[in-house]
Amino acid sequence: TKNALKSLFYQSNIFEDLSLEYLGPYDGHNIKELEKAFESAKKLEKSVVIHVRTKKGKGYKFAEEDKIGYWHGVGPFDIETGKSLNTTSNELISYSECISNHLEKEMENNKDIIAITPAMISGSKLNNIFNKFKDRAIDLGINEEHAVTFASGLSLNKKKPFLSIYSTFMQRSYDNLNNDLARMNLPLVVGVDRAGLSGEDGDTHLGIYDVEITKGLRNSVIAMPLDSNDAKNILNLALNSNKLFFIRYPKEN
């Protein structure tokens, strides 16, 4: 009876169907409204979901208008202009861009190479590849597990998948790497981005576990390039190795 009456006024949602209390949605930028929601939740005697809606970058024009993820994580910048204050030489590029540039050239010469990423197009500097190879570049959203199993399917169909993934997020896909690729001796090249300490990204993004996670996988190789030329050679080797091949590189230039 309760559910029937509620359905007259509210749409059913998955949380209530799971017998969880549901409050919201609330304006995540309204502090007073949020405080009331939290006070209400504290009075409940069961698990509760508080649904909060926020707008990324709210209050700062440049961040609000960002469509490609530039403001997802930034270093020092000028508040008035939004321009970076990074003093690094313009002649240097990030390792992510280095790998992406070499991958782009490999894809020009080999139509079997397919680039995959779990929602990290901008972070891993894959924009050019996604614009240039629309039928061979696939963003699978924040689904690292699915990305690996999807790559397994491509390998079974004689394609050469390249998966660009942040080191810290790769732990989510360990079971898939082990069962869907390593155990079956299937090839996949994994660009392990943000390997090692990653500074301002915070402790959630530290790439300090991927070696321990991957070194026990059968038929696999772990490599780390010294420079751009080394990265080119390692990528070429990886794509022709017929192995599960991990190429680690840091966030640095």
Catalytic residues: 56, 144, 172
Q: Let me know the angle formed at the C-alpha of 194 by 179 and 138, rounded to the nearest 5 degrees.
A: 60
Residue 126 and residue 164 in contact, taking contact as beta carbons nearer than 8 Å: yes
Positive or negative, the CA dihedral 55, 172, 166, 232 is negative
Number of C-beta neighbours around residue 102 at 10 A: 19
The half-sphere exposure of 214 on its side-chain side, counting CA atoms within 13 A, is: 31
Q: What are phi and psi of 252, to 5 degrees?
A: -65, 170
> How many C-beta neighbours within 10 Å does residue 155 have?
21
Exposed / middle / buried, residue 168 (Cβ in 10 Å: 0-12, 13-18, 19+)? buried
Q: What is the DSSP letter of 125?
A: T
Secondary structure class of 228 (helix, strand, coil): helix
